[in-house]
């Protein structure tokens, strides 16, 4: 794959102080704007396109922040990060999903062996990570998209407030239940991608990877009839099951993001563990079909190419199809390398031509 050009995403001072620009984990285009999220806050950000003399997008700026706690209740309140790892947009809604993961504490430089061992033995659960939020999209007086708590009969709503999160539904799953108590970077449960198509959401798991097979969940969220500010999972298909699992042979890699392209899914792949690469974009054709396969072999997937990655940096975390001729995607990076950071408080993303 060819990195056709680079564009700058410019952030305001508050977001730079929160290091959102260096922890980008999700992106979606919405007309002239981008919705992005970082994994160290409980916010989403909107940036607006900057056009060059030829009318092409050269960057995104005029960043504004939306606090999720202003729109939906959060289980741990506004002060705790939500580790947003995926954004999706469809049918007038913006969706945001947390990683649903546990985390093992890191060893800090200069710590004694005793303290390092203690940190490695400490596993933390942060409840805001276990949410799925659905936000009404509206068009403001400036013609730009925004999200609100209410718009007519549409209400912002959330899943994951009271032992009803996606991982709660997986407690009896024969494949995934054993991984619910394992931290994400140890090949435990780690949601890192979401795509919307019709009334379905497709949830990509970075981990676990099961003997080389990555896992994708298919769900159908709906409004709780007893509380419009809450979601519930509706049956998928003809039975009573509230989710379907699809297993993809990605050559041992996990799913780092998902992006719809017609009835196909573009899958950003990468290591499930704390490794740098390889990183690839794969097309799953016909993924949105009602009879989509639950076992998807490598022969049924089209590898579109590899993305660049660094050594300890430049981790591709989000992709979004751009409204441009051909099939071009914008790629955003977590832990960007120093040469991606600009003097104006921005960070460089790549525009890749998928051919």
Three-state secondary-structure class, residue 18 = coil
Q: What is the pTM of this model?
A: 0.96
* Residue range 280-292, pLDDT digits in tens: 999 999 999 888 9
Neighbours of 131 (CB within 10 A): 27
- Exposure string for 11-24, b = 16+ CB within 10 A, e = fewer: bbeebbebebbbbb
Start-to-end C-alpha separation, the chain? 8
SS3 214: strand
The tokens for 218 are 């298919």
Cα–Cα distance, 339 to 327 (Å, whole number): 26
Angle at 190 between CA 83 and CA 88, to 5 degrees: 60
Quick: pLDDT tens for 272-321: 988 888 999 999 999 998 889 999 999 999 999 999 898 889 999 999 99
Residue 298: closest CA among 252, 263, 264 = 252
Asked whether the predicted pLDDT for residue 332 surpasses 90, the reply is yes
CA-based torsion, 253, 334, 147, 103: positive or negative: positive
- Mean per-residue pLDDT of the chain: 95
pLDDT at 325: 81
Q: What does the pLDDT read at residue 89?
A: 97
Question: Does residue 255 have a pLDDT over 90?
Answer: yes
Kindly give, in sequence order, each residue whose CB lies less than 8 Å from that of residue 152, ignoring residues fewer than 6 positions away: none
Residue indicated by tokens 């009839």: 225
Structure confidence at residue 24 as a pLDDT band (50, 70, 90): very high
Of 193, 94, 100, 198, give the one whose Cα is nearest residue 149: 94
* Rounded mean pLDDT, 35-43: 94
Q: Residue holding tokens 């990183």?
A: 279
DSSP state of 23: B
Task: Assign 107 a pLDDT band (cuts: 50, 70, 90).
Answer: very high
Residue with tokens 């959330």: 158
Q: How far, CA to CA in Å, does 318 sit from each of 39, 80, 171, 198, 338?
A: 12, 22, 28, 21, 19
pLDDT in tens, 191-228: 999 999 999 999 999 999 999 999 999 999 999 999 99
Tokens for 138? 């509206």
């Amino acid at each position: 794959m060819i990195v056709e050009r680079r564009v700058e995403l410019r952030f305001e001072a508050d977001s730079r102080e929160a290091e959102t620009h260096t922890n980008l984990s999700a992106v979606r285009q919405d007309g002239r704007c981008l919705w992005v999220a970082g994994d160290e806050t409980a916010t989403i950000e909107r940036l607006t396109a900057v056009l060059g003399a030829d009318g092409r997008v050269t960057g995104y700026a005029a960043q504004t922040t939306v606090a999720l706690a202003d729109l939906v209740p959060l289980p741990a309140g506004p002060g705790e990060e939500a580790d947003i790892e995926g954004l999706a947009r469809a049918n007038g809604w913006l969706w945001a999903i947390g990683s649903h993961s546990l985390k093992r504490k890191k060893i800090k430089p200069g710590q004694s062996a005793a303290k390092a061992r203690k940190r490695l033995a400490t596993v933390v659960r942060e409840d805001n990570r276990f949410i799925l939020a659905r936000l009404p999209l509206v068009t403001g007086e400036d013609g730009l998209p925004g999200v609100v708590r209410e718009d007519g009969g549409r209400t912002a709503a959330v899943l994951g407030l009271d032992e009803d999160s996606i991982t709660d539904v997986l407690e009896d799953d024969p494949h995934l239940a054993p991984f619910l108590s394992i931290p994400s970077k140890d090949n435990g449960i780690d949601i890192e991608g979401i795509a919307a198509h019709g009334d379905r959401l497709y949830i990509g798991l970075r981990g676990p990877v099961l003997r080389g097979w990555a896992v994708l969940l298919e769900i159908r969220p709906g409004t709780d009839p007893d509380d419009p500010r809450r979601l519930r999972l509706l049956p998928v298909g003809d039975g009573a099951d509230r989710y379907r699992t699809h297993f993809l042979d990605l050559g041992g890699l996990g799913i780092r993001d998902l992006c719809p392209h017609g009835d196909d899914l573009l899958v950003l792949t990468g290591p499930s563990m704390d490794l740098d690469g390889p990183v690839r974009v794969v097309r799953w054709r016909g993924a949105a079909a009602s009879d989509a396969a639950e076992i998807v072999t490598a022969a049924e997937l089209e590898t579109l190419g590899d993305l660049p990655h660094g050594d300890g940096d430049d981790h591709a975390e989000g992709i979004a199809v751009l409204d441009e001729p051909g099939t071009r995607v914008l790629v955003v990076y977590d832990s960007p390398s120093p040469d991606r950071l600009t003097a104006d408080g921005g960070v460089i993303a790549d525009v890749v031509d998928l051919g």
